Amino acid sequence: MMWAMCEPVQRAEEDGQTMGEPLGSLFGRPRAEVEAAFPDRESVVCPICQVEPRRFAVDFQGLSLARCPTCRLELHSPRPTLEQMARAVYGEHYHRADEAPADARHRRQYGRQVDRLEQLQPAGRRLLDVGCGAGAFLRFGRERGWDVEGTDYVLTPWARESGARVWEGELPLVEFGGARFDVVRFNHVLEHTRDPLSELRAARSVLSPGGVLLIGVPNLAGASLRVKSWQSRLGLKGKRWRHYAALHHLWFFTPATLSRLVETAGFEVAHWETPVLALSRGPRLAYDRLVERLRTGGILDLYARAV
Ligand SMILES: [Zn+2]
């Protein structure tokens, strides 16, 4: 078995596109197939409030979407176990060799993140990329003069071949031997984890003083995703709630709920934005600029510091 959680094939989480569906496996498949692959489901409580969430929808594949009645954090509960997902979702096609070098779109995304990190001036340039996937950011960060290291639940051969120092396992369980980092980055990873609060607490414990946390996630408060949620509620979509991508997403964040989670883990938010990375022209360009200015894009990038 070989899989890793970050940045799967064909990930396209911008406005107007379906969130992060890798090719193959169970994505888009009928409910009966999904139910056969996930015989067991586990209930999850809100990690911030320790409160039982309330189900607000069932998606077209029979997966449960729930919301904490106290803090409004949305999560997948009851959910398949991570071990079942490892077999049924994160198969060997989840990452591909051609993802190992970043494509043009990812280079724009990564460049923007590195620019922002350099503005925020962490104490040094040692960065831990959690969920390093095929290793594209391990390579990109090094090109930009950063000392990048990575972890993943299961490392891909391309991450191992990147030349970067890498560790295998869920972040809270990795033993770093006293290593400290100036930046810890979770790029489209946190929404896949078993417990995002324990991931962020583990990140805090390996950050140097003055270190910066960077989290990229789908933004459920983004304009086009809100429209899709209303269409799903009203029964106007053939594949209801597909935009939540609950087949591999266990947590669904907005700027408000992600900020609260980050604060609960001992950070304060320094900056957040919703970068629109598509290259558009004409009226679409004007719309994209407006979405970015209003911070209602489909991707949320949040930067925080330990307090
Ligand atoms: Zn809560």
Domain ranges of the chain: 31-306
Q: Which of 4-8, 14-18, 64-68, 191-195 has the lowest mean pLDDT?
A: 14-18
Report how far ligand 1's centroid is from the alpha carbon of 119 (Å): 32
Report how far ligand 1's centroid is from the alpha carbon of 298 (Å): 22
Model confidence at 5, pLDDT cuts 50, 70, 90, reads: low
Report how far ligand 1's centroid is from the alpha carbon of 300 (Å): 20
Report how far ligand 1's centroid is from the alpha carbon of 258 (Å): 11
Report how far ligand 1's centroid is from the alpha carbon of 74 (Å): 9
Would you state the pLDDT for residue 21? 55
Report how far ligand 1's centroid is from the alpha carbon of 174 (Å): 27
Kindly write down the DSSP assignment for every residue of 216-264, as one continuous string: EEE-TTSHHHHHHHHHHHTT--SSTTGGG-TTT--EE--HHHHHHHHHH
CA distance readout (Å), 28 to 83, 90, 142, 237:
20, 15, 36, 13
Report how far ligand 1's centroid is from the alpha carbon of 3 (Å): 30
What is the pTM assigned to this prediction? 0.91
**Interior/surface letters 146-171, b for 16+ CB within 10 angstroms, e for the rest:** bebbbbbbebbebbeebebebbeebb
Contacts of 251 (CB under 8 A, 6+ apart): 73, 74, 75, 76, 190, 191, 193, 196, 217
Report how far ligand 1's centroid is from the alpha carbon of 113 (Å): 29
**Which tens digit of pLDDT belongs to each residue from 247-264?**
999 999 999 999 999 999
Q: At the topology level of CATH, where does 31-306 sit?
A: Rossmann fold (3.40.50)
**Which residues partner with 183 through β-bridges?**
127, 212
Report how far ligand 1's centroid is from the alpha carbon of 63 (Å): 20
Q: Under a CB-based contact definition with an 8 Å cutoff, are residues 49 and 93 in contact?
A: no
In 3D space, the residue among 47, 45, 69 whose CA is nearest the CA of residue 56 turns out to be 69
Report how far ligand 1's centroid is from the alpha carbon of 197 (Å): 12
